């Protein structure tokens, strides 16, 4: 695990210094695909398709890597360490350039209440967050979404104090009273409600179509491995059909 993380950190460093100069090289063998992603319930169909053997039915071996920093897994894709990612559209567009090309091949979900802002019970609106400390993952969809909420309230990120944490760490800090506001996602929103800790000030059901998760692959991978892309998509379709027909078994 340490070796894997160190590779991601090196990839992130390279991307940060000269992203436009990266020459993408693919290391995946024929019939294999490596995807990076954060921990998110919407990516469940990927794991279901893998565990049910749906990808292998199409001759594809899929490796799913959990990396809680979007900048790390996107840099790993750019450096050829990964072939693609499960990520939000805004994150993909942020890292896409004339030298580093990603394309979405499958839409996974539209966050409808899965993302939210945890705040003290006395806070009435986003505008009330002015001057407060807010924990969120910089460079991720949390920052993208929160900045839109701030703009709608007539504020900017300069009006709050940002502490950079992963979504999981931000929620943990909120629950431990170490930070007053956290931008995070499920299951942390539900856990906060169950423990009667503060409130979910706003969630993504108020901003439909804004947070959309997709599977995006390196453009060269798509060009060189059309059969594998087809196997990926067919496997995901089959997994989603299984979820519809056998929800409880799928959720296990």
Secondary structure of 191-236 in the HEC alphabet?
A: HHHHCCCCEEEEEHHHCCCCCEEEEEEEHHHHHHCHHHHHHHHHHH
Nearest-angstrom CA–CA distance, 145 and 90? 9
Domains and CATH numbers, the chain: 2-110+211-251 (3.40.190.10), 115-206 (3.40.190.10)
Tens-digit pLDDT profile for residues 183-227:
999 999 999 999 999 999 999 999 999 999 999 999 999 999 999
Full DSSP string of 13-35:
HHHHHHGGG------PPTTEEEE
Model-level pTM greater than 0.85?
Answer: no
Of 23, 30, 63, 42, which Cα lies nearest the Cα of 211? 42
Nearest-angstrom CA–CA distance, 201 and 52? 38
Tens-digit pLDDT profile for residues 2-21:
343 343 333 333 333 333 33
């Amino acid at each position: 695990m340490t070796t894997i993380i160190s590779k991601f950190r090196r990839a992130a460093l390279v991307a940060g210094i000269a992203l436009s100069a990266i020459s993408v090289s693919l290391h995946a063998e024929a019939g294999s695909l490596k995807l990076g992603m954060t921990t998110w319930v919407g990516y469940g169909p990927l794991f279901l398709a893998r565990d049910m053997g749906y990808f292998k039915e199409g001759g594809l071996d899929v490796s799913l890597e959990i990396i809680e920093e979007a900048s790390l897994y996107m840099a790993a894709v750019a450096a050829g360490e990964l072939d693609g990612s499960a990520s939000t559209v805004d994150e993909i567009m942020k890292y896409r350039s004339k030298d580093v090309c990603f394309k979405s091949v499958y839409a996974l979900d539209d966050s409808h209440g899965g993302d939210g802002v945890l705040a003290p019970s006395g806070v009435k609106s986003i505008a009330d967050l002015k001057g407060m400390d807010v924990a969120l993952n910089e460079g991720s969809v949390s920052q993208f979404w929160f900045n839109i909420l701030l703009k709608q309230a007539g504020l900017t990120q300069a009006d709050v104090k940002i502490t950079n944490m992963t979504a999981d760490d931000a929620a943990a800090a909120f629950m431990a009273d170490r930070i007053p506001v956290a931008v995070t996602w499920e299951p942390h929103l539900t856990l906060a409600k169950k423990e009667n800790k503060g409130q979910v000030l706003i969630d993504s059901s108020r901003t439909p179509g804004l947070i959309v998760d997709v599977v995006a692959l390196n453009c060269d991978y798509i060009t060189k491995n059309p059969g594998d892309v087809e196997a990926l998509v067919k496997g995901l379709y089959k997994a989603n059909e299984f979820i519809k027909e056998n929800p409880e078994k799928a959720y296990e």
